Amino acid sequence: MSLDTVSTALSHGGVQGVYRHQSSATDTDMTFAVFVPPHEAGTKLPVLFYLSGLTCTHANVTDKGEYRAACVEHGVILVAPDTSPRGEGVADDPAWDMGQGAGFYVDATQAPWAGHFAMRSYVEDELPAIVAEHFPVDMARQGIFGHSMGGHGALTVALRSPGRFRSTSAFAPISSPLHCPWGDKALTGYLGPDRAAWRPYDACALIDDGARLPDLLVDQGTADSFLAEQLKPELLLQACERAGIPATIRMQPGYDHSYLFISSFMADHVRWHAERLYA
């Protein structure tokens, strides 16, 4: 699979790159960022996939996530894809919480979205294959995390992929799209009104249906304006407790939903993942 380099730059001794390729999953060009820390020639490193939230591209975490020093310290590659297909002919919506920038990591089945919005297939299958081909990654040591809509994506991808990810964490995830306005709107639009078809895209439903993780780390700000209506971490904690999944859900006093929050705890998440990726 061919890959075009958009840009590269040195940071903390490693290489921060942005890359573009033609996606068979979305039938569009897709862009993603990869940070490769310094390493000995021939060495393969663990890889950590980061999924971004509503309105974001790869650039939000690349510019504001403050992960590179931690990735160098712990020897972890970080991959950050875009949040949706984009471009001429790709369906969109005037609202910021639907359409381009808001793919919700689903494979859409409904018009006008089904032609391009296959983010589940992209992040689960196509992107990892491209990363494995072009970068020095050890695909036996994968972790995944994300923010908000991307936290929802990380949780559901990991829960649908037993044994694939050694570590899963999230910042302020949408814990149960079945029980919030963002989920009602997006999943109805992308998947149709049959709520049974939504269950593979709801972390709490997946856990109740038998999916498991070895453990889980979540950070959530108490001053997050989306906390009560959209994010509902208590539902995720309850689902983990019912299933016996060890879950650390840390309510961080005074923090909001922004990258000022994410960057405050990013290094701790990278460290937490590295402990499991190198175990």
* Confidence class for position 232, pLDDT limits 50, 70, 90: very high
- Classify domain 4-278 by CATH number: 3.40.50.1820
In the numeric block, the tokens 């895209």 are attached to: 201
The rounded distance, in Å, linking the Cα atoms of 116 and 36 is 29
To the query of whether residue 148 is one of the catalytic residues in this protein, the response is yes
Is 7 a catalytic site residue? no
Mean pLDDT of 191-205: 98
pLDDT on residue 139: 98
Please give the pLDDT value at position 131.
98
* pLDDT at residue 66, as a whole number: 98
Task: Say if residue 52's pLDDT is above 90.
Answer: yes
Average pLDDT of the segment spanning 159-167:
97
Any idea what DSSP says for residue 111? Answer: T
Q: Is the pLDDT of residue 62 over 90?
A: yes
pLDDT in tens, 63-110: 999 999 999 999 999 999 999 999 999 999 999 999 999 999 999 999
Mean pLDDT of the chain: 98
- Identify the DSSP state of 71: H
The answer to whether 103 and 117 are in contact (CB under 8 A) is yes
Percent of the chain past pLDDT 70, that is, above it, reads: 100
Q: Which of 148, 167, 169, 176 is catalytic?
A: 148
Query: H-helix or E-strand containing 16?
Result: strand 14-22
Chain segment 24-46, per-residue pLDDT in tens = 999 999 999 999 999 999 999 99
Query: Which of the 8 DSSP states describes residue 197?
Result: G
**Annotated catalytic, 257?**
yes
What's this model's pTM, rounded to 2 decimal places?
0.98
Find, among 219, 230, 257, the residue nearest to 176 by Cα.
Answer: 230
Region 249-257: mean pLDDT is: 98
Domain-by-domain residue ranges, the chain? 4-278
Residue 1: pLDDT band (50, 70, 90) is: confident
